[in-house]
Structure 1
Amino acid sequence: MGGVVGAELSAVALALLSALSWGAGDFGGGVAARRLNPYWVALLVHATGFLFFTLAALGRGEELQPSDLPWSLGAGVAGCAGLFFLYRAFMTGQMGLVAPVAGVVGAGLAALVGMGLEGVPAPLQLLGFGFGLVGVWLAARPEGAQGGAQGLGYAFLAGAGFGGYFVLIDRVEGLFWPSALAKLTALALMLLWLWQSRASAGLGFSRTLPLVVLAGLLDAGGNVLFLAAAQAGRLDVAAVISSLYPAFTVLLAWGLLRERLGRGQGLGVLLSLVAVALIAGG
């Protein structure tokens, strides 16, 4: 019994670190996207992640499991689609509505699949899921964001992509090679799209590159921490806690860029912390 509880607490801690890493990576990527074409930022983030995971797998001497190949490729397609549709949704100018919709849909989809595969979690954890989803919505949604229908379709597709990534990458046995293959797949798809669209990178490429590389490393760290959390415990627990990353992005923007933290966003951060406590305590 103690071993099961220890594994669940370990999964919660890893998922929380994943949320922190993803949140910091999104903050860096968001700042970089103000200077460069966001699709180029996504491409460079995928390239950095692929290089990091490949070197880590070789350095660790990890063997590639053939059974991981289809799951890794599928996860790469899903993750790339999620990021692509998220940026398409952002282009509608409703970031305040798009980001929380994508986050909640992704976490909700993975949580439902996790409960279907592993059974319904403890009542306190279910309550924590609810607090977490509401917290993500409030933390990512700026005060006064308008809620029109434009872009919501892309936001749902983005959330479905992220949720698909959570579910598919959870099926692998390895750690670094599956993540490297997923990033390579996403990188190839982004290269194909940028080649067809002839989109330019934008100004300030050399000055912004170090920030993009840092964002890519943080994104990669979030990926591997999520995978470790899902392998150590339940998929739904790992997915919901990892999806709290917008709260950390908001806090970084407030602390480093002095962006105003709205009342709803502050409440969202607080609810996210309550969610972590409830899920860990359950």
Structure 2
Amino acid sequence: MGIIYGLTAALCFGLSDFMVTQATRKIQTLPALVWIQLFASIMMGSFIWIQSPQISGNAFTWGAVIVISLVNFFGTLFLYRAFEKGTLSIVSPIASGFAVVTAALAIFFGEVLPTWTLVGVFLLITGVITVSRTGGRGHQTTLAGIPEAISASVCMGAYFWAVGYLTPSLGAFLPVLITRIVQLLCALSFVRIRRIQLSKLSFSTGMILILAALLDSGALISFNLGQSLSYTTSTTALASLYSLITILLAWIFFKERLSKAQWTGIAIVLLGVIAVSM
């Protein structure tokens, strides 16, 4: 079941990132982040209220989930910015390298990982360098957004590693709600500081944002359920395969075309993710 949950998370993340890309290119990063977190908070809050779970955890646990939610906020902000300004089929596989960060933290804190994980780390770094040092064909692709994608992978990798220690006491759903609320409050603060006006949403944009919120929340829940049944490292690696879906959607709908060298770099990144999951 852990593998199924990990793959479900990958599917939801891939579809969600495609929706987020459309949203950020319509209304920009911060407004999209505010609306998605608002819709997600309402969905998760309603779901948990209906379920009426028994809430446990001490002050340290609650403080820890708030801290890692702040880290995930900056990861999400970097990710949305990468989607807004970059080529989706390039920045998505780079961001999916958060599995490397999770594996590195697991090693640092004493988890014994197989040789394939170390091979995966090397492949992911090599793939990122290959994509970053080559250009696309014509004007259809850009290397913009790569620094943001790398920053997002670092923040998200730390979040997914840490949340594995919190779900045993808080469950699979409550950390997702807390993350949503913290991200919403942070996004609103950034909007206020930068004096950005939240314009009225059209029906089509609103539906895109709602779908993005639903899919992203589903991905986080699936991940939490998966890592509660399996190793956090392997579940994270499976979830990071979402970039395969994102690349396919970008190729079909955004008509993104990459050079052979860039496709080689992306293939190396994906091989690295698969190696980490073995």
Q: TM-score band (shorter)?
A: 0.7 to 0.9
Aligned-residue sequence identity (percent) comes to: 23
Of 25, 37, 45, which residue of structure 2 is paired with 1:46? Answer: 37
Taking structure 1 as reference, are residues 195 and 141 closer, same or farther at Cα in structure 2, changes over 3 Å only? farther
Secondary structure at the aligned position of 2:53 is classed as coil
Cα deviation 1:149-168 (Å, max 9, x = unaligned): x973x554433321221122
What is the alpha-carbon distance in structure 2 between the residues aligned to residue 146 and residue 230 of structure 1? 35
Corresponding letter in the other structure for 2:99: A
Unaligned runs of 5+ in 1: 1-9
SS at match of 2:113: coil
1:1-282 mapped onto 2 (5 Å cutoff): 10-67=1-58, 68-88=61-81, 93-95=85-87, 99-104=92-97, 106-117=98-109, 119-127=111-119, 144=136, 152=147, 154-172=148-166, 173=168, 174-201=171-198, 205-260=202-257, 263=260, 282=278
Tell me how far 1:14 sits from its aligned partner: 1.8
> Structure 2 regions of 5+ residues with no counterpart?
none
Which segment is superposed worse, 214-223 or 162-171? Answer: 162-171
Partner deviation per Cα, 1:73-131 (whole Å, 9 max, x = no partner): 1222111111223445667x555765555443x32221111234462233345445655
Deviates more, 1:122-131 or 1:175-184: 122-131
Q: Is the 8 A contact 1:62 1:177 kept in 2?
A: no
Using the size of structure 2 for normalisation, the TM-score is 0.79
What is the CA-CA distance between 1:38 and the residue it aligns to? Answer: 2.0
Give the secondary-structure state (helix, strand or coil) at the position aligned to 1:175. coil
Please say which of residues 57-66 and 270-279 is displaced more in the overlay: 270-279
RMSD of equivalent CA atoms: 3.5
How many residues align structurally?
268
The C-alpha deviation readout for 1:199-218, integer Å capped at 9, x for no partner, is 13457534310111001111
Structure 2 CA distance for aligned equivalents of residues 277 and 112 of structure 1: 16
Contact 2:238 2:274 in 1 (8 A): no
State the one-letter code of the partner of 1:36: I
CA contact (8 A) 2:237 2:273 kept: no
Deviation per CA, 1:21-69: give whole Å up to 9, x if none: 1111010111122211221111122122222222222233322223342
Bigger Cα displacement from structure 2, 259-268 vs 25-34: 259-268
The answer on whether the counterparts of 1:46 and 1:184 sit within 8 Å (CA) in structure 2 is yes
